[in-house]
């Protein structure tokens, strides 16, 4: 066990280095630095362009990529004050990114907690009596809702509840021009995006939980628990649910890792100022200084949570052999 | 389908049962004399939603394959009838069942052509990613050791990107490299989008097949094959893959709809393929529906999105049915 964790931990920095290098090269190839800078600042002098290229280490050729990568990496780990500035108005990159991260975490946190709570309970109730009316409704419902692509449900909810009925605001997190913090106003803006994400989470997790619990309930140790006279309730919770959660923890960890990058579609539809909108803006402008920290933070979070998923699975289920 | 050796044994056993029990339990007898493939077939059709979805999909496939006959207008043909006057943004009517778009195209016909292209994208990229994933997973699982380690680390690297982010960044980067676009086509072509989906779609299958192979390779029939002198390639092709075909088939089905939805999502953000003047795709129609929604032309939104949802639900149900079909445990439960 320990050996497995240590080996994976040793791999992690290497993977991060490799992946960030690949991303750096991809971003450099995908968005031509000189062209995007000139497009964002049409009246920039040649000296300004040269300065931008130099500050960001955007050298040409393969050796230039390697040198540029290490210069970028060095600046990156020194902290946000040293990160290169955005190509638009030379603004700092970190404050808007931080704002976007917190907005996304808020949306993701609320809808995940809601979704997991609802999904796991629905799955548990459904698996208690397979084939009952509750089971059929929940299972079919989850199936239908889960099959609808998020951008379709997002646009549908927006058209019905915001545009037609006017119950909720169409987009954003505050009305334009709003200053300061207002919980009620924010909650009103959050209802529709949270619903879209929650639908996805509930439909996925209720089905995972149902399948996993059914699998566990047919296993020998549950029969033993019943045979020794435990109440059905004790069997369900002490033996059933606890073991059914083991495979779900893995999926959970992977999903948390993907959350930062995964809400792009919902955020874009509701113009919610999170990381998705930040990302779309950055790629549209070809803003390499903005794009890189976003990608690196997303990737590191995914890698770490994937690792947690692997380790927790092995830790929770001792039957799994690691080597 | 599964281990070929078991079939004659099962038959023999059933004959024995037959003589001992007489004709008491005809149902049990029938199950015992079926081949595994027939049993899977029976389990599949017992899944009602999957059966209905299969019929719908079969109908849709016929309509789409014979598009020149079933579509009322050509892809770029405009709905024209002098008495009706202006032909743009017509609401659904006899002349155009699903209405017309901004340049007077018939939506019903465009939808058929679009589903045709989207299904093509979905099926081809699903097959490609399943083939890549199966090869990678089977080799990693069978050879083990450093090769397995390496393959799994490569998989980790690919899994480090959320799918949408990966596709968007890779699209920009690979679309700027000349020798790649020379091979797989321009950045806005359908070939390019299929290449992207295959590139980021194989990891799940690779992990799945690797797990299957790891579980299977310790079994006696593989040992027996080795003892007879079968080499690794033969073992993979004749023993390991046929025995894990079930989960692979399920993954294939689900990755078809994954690719179709992904194409529409990309198109929704204006990053989808431009199928060219003489073609269209669901994504393209969904992209246009965004404008349609703003102007209140509901038919431009409802039909493409409805078609997408219908495809998604049907293919998901088919995948679910296949999952039941390959799960032999369900027979004993019944």
Do residue A307 and residue A241 come from a single domain?
yes
pLDDT tens-place values along chain B, 334 residues long: 344 444 444 444 444 444 444 444 555 555 567 777 888 888 888 888 888 999 999 998 888 888 777 777 777 676 666 566 666 666 777 666 777 777 777 788 888 888 888 899 999 999 999 999 999 998 898 888 888 888 888 888 888 888 888 888 998 888 888 788 788 877 788 888 899 999 999 998 998 888 888 888 888 888 888 888 888 888 888 888 888 888 888 889 889 998 998 888 888 888 877 766 667 888 778 877 777 766 777 777 888 888 889 999 999 889 888 888 877 665 554 4
What integer is the mean pLDDT of A84-88?
A: 79
Query: Measured between beta carbons, which residues in chain A are less than 8 angstroms from residue B313?
Result: 143-144, 147
Do residue A48 and residue A102 come from a single domain?
no
Domain's final residue, options A51, A82, A113: A82
Domain's final residue, options A20, A55, A82: A82
B170 touches chain A (CB under 8 A): yes
CB-closest option in A32, A149, A260 to B312 = A149
Query: Measured between beta carbons, which residues in chain B are less than 8 angstroms from residue A261?
Result: 161-162, 164-165
How far is CA B69 from its chain centroid? 25
User: DSSP characters for A130-181?
Assistant: TTSHHHHHHHHHHHHHHHS-HHHHHHHHIIIIIIIS-SS-SSSSS-TT--S-
| Helix residue spans in A31-45 (DSSP H) | 33-40
- Give yes or no for a contact between A103 and A272, defined as CB atoms under 8 angstroms apart: yes
Whether residues A298 and B308 touch (CB distance < 8 A) is answered with: no
Query: Of chain B residues 269-298, which have a CB less than 8 A from chain A?
Result: 269, 286, 290, 293
Domain's final residue, options A82, A106, A129: A82
Residue A285 domain-assigned (yes or no): yes
How far is B187 from chain A, CA to nearest CA, in Å? 11
Question: If you measure CA to CA, which chain B residue comes closest to A262?
Answer: B162
Residue A91 domain-assigned (yes or no): no
Residue A310 domain-assigned (yes or no): yes
Number of domains forming the structure of chain A: 2
How far is A288 from chain B, CA to nearest CA, in Å? 12
A163 vs A157: CA distance, rounded Å: 9
Task: Provide the 3-class DSSP secondary structure of residue A219.
Answer: coil
Residue A59 domain-assigned (yes or no): yes
Q: Which residues of B177-214 are buried (b: 16+ CB within 10 A; e: fewer)?
A: eeeebeebbebebbebbbbbbbbbbbbbbbbbbbebbb
Residue B78: phi, psi to the nearest 5? Answer: -100, 145
pLDDT in tens, A99-111: 888 888 888 889 9
Query: Measured between beta carbons, which residues in chain A are less than 8 angstroms from residue B283?
Result: none
Whether residues B309 and A147 touch (CB distance < 8 A) is answered with: yes
Do residue A253 and residue A305 come from a single domain?
yes
How far is A144 from chain B, CA to nearest CA, in Å? 6
A154 vs A192: CA distance, rounded Å: 8
Question: Right CATH number for B118-332 from 1.10.3720.10, 1.10.357.10, 2.40.10.220, 3.20.20.70?
Answer: 1.10.3720.10
How far is B23 from chain A, CA to nearest CA, in Å? 31
- Give yes or no for a contact between B175 and B192, defined as CB atoms under 8 angstroms apart: yes
Do residue A75 and residue A135 come from a single domain?
no
Whether residues B175 and A30 touch (CB distance < 8 A) is answered with: yes
Do residue A8 and residue A151 come from a single domain?
no
Query: Measured between beta carbons, which residues in chain A are less than 8 angstroms from residue B316?
Result: 143, 146-147
Q: Tell me, what's the pLDDT at B79? A: 66
Do residue A29 and residue A160 come from a single domain?
no
Whether residues A295 and B169 touch (CB distance < 8 A) is answered with: yes
Q: Tell me, what's the pLDDT at B11? A: 41
Whether residues A19 and B160 touch (CB distance < 8 A) is answered with: yes
Do residue A230 and residue A186 come from a single domain?
yes
Whether residues B165 and A261 touch (CB distance < 8 A) is answered with: yes
B139 vs B177: CA distance, rounded Å: 30
- Give yes or no for a contact between A8 and A310, defined as CB atoms under 8 angstroms apart: yes
| Among A105, A106, A146, residue whose Cα is nearest residue A123 | A146
CB-closest option in B171, B261, B269 to A149 = B261
Do residue A213 and residue A251 come from a single domain?
yes
Do residue A118 and residue A57 come from a single domain?
no
Q: Tell me, what's the pLDDT at B127? A: 95
Residue B100: phi, psi to the nearest 5? Answer: -125, 160
What integer is the mean pLDDT of A224-250?
A: 82
- Neighbouring CB atoms inside 10 A of B320's CB total 20
Average pLDDT, chain A: 83
CA–CA distance from A308 to each of A314, A317, B67, B287 (Å)?
Answer: 10, 14, 50, 38
A208 vs B155: CA distance, rounded Å: 24
A322 vs A320: CA distance, rounded Å: 6
Q: Do you know the residue count of chain A?
A: 323
Question: If you measure CA to CA, which chain B residue comes closest to A258?
Answer: B162
Q: Tell me, what's the pLDDT at A261? A: 65
Tell me how many residue pairs between chain A and chain B have CB atoms under 8 A apart. Answer: 103
Residue A158: phi, psi to the nearest 5? Answer: -65, -45
Range of the structural domain that residue A213 is part of? 98-316
Instruction: With both helix axes pointing from N to C terminus, report the angle between B245-268 and B282-294 in degrees, rounded to the nearest 10.
Output: 40
Question: If you measure CA to CA, which chain B residue comes closest to A8?
Answer: B153
A268 vs A283: CA distance, rounded Å: 13
DSSP A80: G
For residue A144, give every residue at least 6 positions away whose Cβ sits within 8 Å of its Cβ, in sequence order, or none.
B313
A4, A141, A151, best to mutate vs chain B, most B CBs in 10 Å? A151
- Give yes or no for a contact between B71 and B109, defined as CB atoms under 8 angstroms apart: yes
Residue A139 domain-assigned (yes or no): yes
Do residue A310 and residue A211 come from a single domain?
yes
Whether residues A265 and B159 touch (CB distance < 8 A) is answered with: no
Q: Tell me, what's the pLDDT at B12? A: 43
For residue A47, give every residue at least 6 positions away whose Cβ sits within 8 Å of its Cβ, in sequence order, or none.
none
Q: Which residues of A248-270 are buried (b: 16+ CB within 10 A; e: fewer)?
A: bbbebbbbbbbbbbbbbbbbbbb
pLDDT of A283 over the 80 cut = yes
Residue A7 domain-assigned (yes or no): yes
Do residue A128 and residue A204 come from a single domain?
yes
Do residue A67 and residue A109 come from a single domain?
no
CATH of the domain at A270: 1.10.3720.10
**Where exactly are the structural domains of chain B?**
118-332
Query: Of chain B residues 65-124, which have a CB less than 8 A from chain A?
Result: none
How far is B89 from chain A, CA to nearest CA, in Å? 19
CA–CA distance from A103 to each of A94, A99, A269, A274, B15 (Å)?
Answer: 14, 6, 15, 5, 68
- Give yes or no for a contact between B155 and B225, defined as CB atoms under 8 angstroms apart: no
B150, B156, B181, B261, best to mutate vs chain A, most A CBs in 10 Å? B156
Q: Tell me, what's the pLDDT at B1? A: 38
Confidence at A189, pLDDT banded by 50, 70, 90: confident
Query: Measured between beta carbons, which residues in chain B are less than 8 angstroms from residue A23?
Result: 169
Question: Using H for helix, E for strand and C for coil, what is the string for chain B?
Answer: CCCCCHHHHHHHHHHHHHHHHCCCCHHHHHHHHCCHHHHHHHHHHHCHHHHHHHHHHHHHHHHHHCHHHHCCCCCCCECCCHHHCCCCCCCCCCCCCCCECCCCEEHHHHHHHHHHHHHHHHHHHHHHHHHHHHHHHHHHHHHCHHHHHHHHHHHHHHHCCCHHHHHHHHHHHHCCCHHHHHHHCCCCCHHHHHHHHHHCCCHHHHHHHHHHHHHHCCCHHHHHHHHHCCCHHHHHHHHHHHHCHHHHHHHHHHHHHHHHHHHHHHHHCCCCCCCCCCCCCHHHHHHHHHHHHHCCCHHHHHHHHHHHHHHHHHHHHHHHHHHHHHCCHHHHHC
pLDDT in tens, A128-172: 887 788 888 888 888 888 888 888 888 888 888 877 787 888 777
Which residues of chain A approach chain B closer than 8 Å at the C-beta?
Answer: 11, 15, 18-19, 22-23, 25-27, 29-32, 140, 143-144, 146-149, 151-152, 155-156, 159, 258, 260-262, 264-265, 268, 279-280, 283, 295, 298-299, 302-303, 306
B118, B154, B160, B172, best to mutate vs chain A, most A CBs in 10 Å? B160
pLDDT in tens, A190-219: 888 999 999 988 998 898 888 888 888 888
Query: Measured between beta carbons, which residues in chain A are less than 8 angstroms from residue B169?
Result: 23, 26-27, 30, 283, 295
């Amino acid at each position: 066990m320990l050996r497995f964790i240590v080996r994976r931990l040793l791999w992690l920095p290497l993977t991060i280095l490799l992946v960030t290098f690949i991303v750096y090269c991809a971003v450099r190839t995908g968005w031509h630095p000189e062209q995007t800078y000139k497009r964002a600042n049409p009246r920039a002098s040649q000296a300004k362009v040269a300065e931008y290229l130099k500050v960001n280490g955007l050298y040409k050729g393969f050796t230039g990529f390697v040198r540029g990568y290490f210069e970028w990496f060095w600046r990156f780990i020194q902290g946000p004050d040293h990160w290169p500035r955005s190509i638009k108005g030379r603004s700092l990159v970190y404050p808007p990114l931080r704002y976007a991260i917190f907005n996304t975490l808020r949306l993701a946190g609320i809808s995940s907690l809601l979704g997991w709570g609802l999904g796991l309970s629905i799955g548990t109730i459904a698996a208690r009596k397979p084939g009952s009316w509750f089971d059929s409704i929940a299972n079919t419902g989850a199936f239908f809702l889960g099959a609808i692509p998020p951008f379709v449900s997002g646009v549908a909810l927006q058209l019905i509840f915001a545009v037609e009925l006017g119950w909720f605001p169409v987009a954003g997190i505050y009305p334009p021009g709003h200053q300061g913090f207002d919980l009620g106003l924010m909650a009103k803006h959050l209802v529709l995006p949270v619903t879209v994400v929650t639908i996805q989470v509930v439909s996925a997790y209720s089905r995972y939980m149902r399948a996993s619990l059914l699998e566990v309930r047919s296993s020998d140790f549950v029969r033993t628990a019943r045979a020794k006279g435990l109440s059905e309730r004790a069997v369900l919770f002490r033996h059933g649910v606890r073991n059914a959660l083991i495979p779900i923890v893995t999926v959970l960890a992977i999903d948390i890792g993907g959350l930062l990058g995964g809400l792009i579609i919902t955020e874009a539809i509701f113009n919610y100022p999170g990381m998705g909108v930040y990302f779309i803006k950055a790629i549209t402008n070809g803003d390499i200084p903005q794009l890189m920290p976003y990608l690196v933070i997303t990737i590191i979070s995914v890698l770490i949570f994937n690792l947690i998923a692997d380790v927790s699975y092995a830790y929770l289920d001792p039957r799994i052999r690691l080597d | 389908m599964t281990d070929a050796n078991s079939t004659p044994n099962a038959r023999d056993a059933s004959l024995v049962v037959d003589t001992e029990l007489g004709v008491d339990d005809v149902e049990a007898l029938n199950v015992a004399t079926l081949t595994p493939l027939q049993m899977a077939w029976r389990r599949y059709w017992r899944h009602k939603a999957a059966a209905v979805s299969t019929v719908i999909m079969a109908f849709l496939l016929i309509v789409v394959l014979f598009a020149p006959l079933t579509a009322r207008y050509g892809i770029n043909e405009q709905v024209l009838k002098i008495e009706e006057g202006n032909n743009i943004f017509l609401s659904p009517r006899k002349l155009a069942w699903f209405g017309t778009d901004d340049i007077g195209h018939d939506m019903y016909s465009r939808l058929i052509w679009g589903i045709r292209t989207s299904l093509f994208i979905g099926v081809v990229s699903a097959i490609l990613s399943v083939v890549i994933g199966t090869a990678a997973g089977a080799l990693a699982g069978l050879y083990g050791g450093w090769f397995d380690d390496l393959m799994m680390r490569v998989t980790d690297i690919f899994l480090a990107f959320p799918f949408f982010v990966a596709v968007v960044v890779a699209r920009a980067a690979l679309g700027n490299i000349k020798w790649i676009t020379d091979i797989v086509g321009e950045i806005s072509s359908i070939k390019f989008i299929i290449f992207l989906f295959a590139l980021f779609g194989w990891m799940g299958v690779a992990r799945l097949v690797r797990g299957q192979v790891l579980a299977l390779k310790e079994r006696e029939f593989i040992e027996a094959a080795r003892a007879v002198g079968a080499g690794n390639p033969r073992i993979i092709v004749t023993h390991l893959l046929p025995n894990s075909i079930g989960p692979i088939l399920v993954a294939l089905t689900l990755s078809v709809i994954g690719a179709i939805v992904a194409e529409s999502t990309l198109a929704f953000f204006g990053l989808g393929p431009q199928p060219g003047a003489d073609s269209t795709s669901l994504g393209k129609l969904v992209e246009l529906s965004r404008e349609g929604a703003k102007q209140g032309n509901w038919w431009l939104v409802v039909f493409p999105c409805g078609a997408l949802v219908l495809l998604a639900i049907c293919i998901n149900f088919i995948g679910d049915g296949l999952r039941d079909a390959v799960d032999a445990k369900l027979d004993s439960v019944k």
